[in-house]
Amino acid sequence: MWVAVAVLACLVCEPQAIATSQKLYLKDGTYQLVSSYEVHGDRVRYYSVERSAWEEIPLALVDLQATKRSEEQEKAAQKKQIEEGREIEQQRFEKSPETGFEIFPGVRLPMEDGVYVYDGLRVIRLIQSPAELVTDKKRAALALAVPAHLLKSRSVAVLPGPKAAVRLQQAQPTFYVQSSNGLGAKLELVSVKVVKESRVVEKVEASRAGVGKQSELHIAVQLERTQLAPRLYCLKLLHPLDPGEYALGDLAQQGLNLQFWDFGLFETPSKQEMKKPPPTDSERQ
């Protein structure tokens, strides 16, 4: 049995336009989540990840030093994540096979907890990716002056980078969640929208101060959930997935430390393209 883990790709940053989403810090201690920003004289022009639009702000309100420190810290964290991914990839050649739960004749899961996907050929361990919960600060400011029952707060969960590290080709894989805290009973699968150099996992609207019920705008992919063992759940897709970006996560989780297990599905050739004969010598010429 092979347990494959994809190594994270290095992200390239330009001097003035930052490739991945990052925090553009303001001098009042707040920040905007942006995919890029540019300094033009006494103005800073940036692309808001949350509102998907270009905006401007006076340079005097921006803390460029804090913004650059945040960028350096993000680069260091990405480098560490890449090194950890390479170390895990190397371990599959050095570690002796472990005998876990048999999910298919001759195919077993590892003993350790984790979220795995089986594509019919191999068992792949999905990488746990932290998401940042971004709130609309303008709406939050209004909420202080407007009655709670008239205004709702909105937030989005954002993953860095336009693509997940793990890529699949099978449109209807099977997921296995091995955890001692019942994680398999909580995880949902959602499609992820690519916005510039980031991925929006979900959008949530919830009434403030406990007024009304939370309204989740994400649409979860239909799954058949089966408990195979006390610590193990099997999640089967009812329909094949379309090519794109996806994430498994506990969407009912509260707080800022949101964790997701993300992956992408490659575009597969159509049946007509697969049946098309190879070109003749005359066609090649």
pLDDT in tens, 130-163: 888 776 554 444 445 444 444 445 567 888 889 9
Tokens 């159509």 map to which residue? 270
Of 217, 197, 198, the closest CA to residue 260 belongs to 198
pLDDT tens string 17-68: 334 678 899 999 899 999 889 999 999 999 998 888 999 999 999 999 999 9
**pTM across the whole model:** 0.54
Percentage of the chain modeled with pLDDT above 90? 36
* Greatest mean pLDDT among 53-67, 76-90, 261-275: 53-67
Domains belonging to the chain, first-starting first, are 12-86 (2.30.30), 110-265 (no CATH)
Percent of the chain with pLDDT over 70: 67
Least confident of 7-11, 115-119, 194-198, 242-246: 7-11
252 or 207, greater pLDDT: 252
Task: Compute the average pLDDT of residues 174-190.
Answer: 93
Query: In 100-143, at which residue ranges do the beta strands (DSSP E only) sit?
Result: 102-104, 107-108, 114-118, 123-125, 128-135
Q: Taking Cα atoms as reference points, which of 57, 180, 170, 160 lies closest to residue 118?
A: 170
User: Residue 111 has what DSSP assignment?
Assistant: S
Cβ neighbour number for residue 240 with a 10 Å cutoff = 10
The two three-digit tokens of residue 112, written as one number: 């350790």
Structure tokens at 252: 């009912």
| Whole-angstrom distance, CA of residue 86 vs CA of residue 4 | 11
